[in-house]
Amino acid sequence: MNKRKVERVDDGVAITLSDGTGGEKAEMFDYLLAATGRRWPSSSPIHRLPPWG
């Protein structure tokens, strides 16, 4: 099972991931931009928009 941890630290954001062998790897970032992955209902008008082009 992959473990993930995201935490705010003094210098920005620390993201820690398991490497699959029992070890962990942490990386530091200045900021984090995240999308929640929320799914819209099928009746939502956003599904009826024409494709970008």
DSSP class of residue 26 equals E
- Beta-carbon contacts of 29 under 8 Å, excluding residues fewer than 6 positions away, are 12, 13, 14, 15
Per-residue confidence (pLDDT) for residue 40, from 0 to 100: 62
pLDDT in tens, 14-43: 999 887 788 898 899 998 887 776 666 666
Examine the pLDDT at 7 and tell me if it is beyond 70. yes
In this predicted structure, what is the pLDDT of residue 48?
55
Average pLDDT (41-51) is: 58
- Closest by alpha carbon to 25, among 33, 34, 16? 16
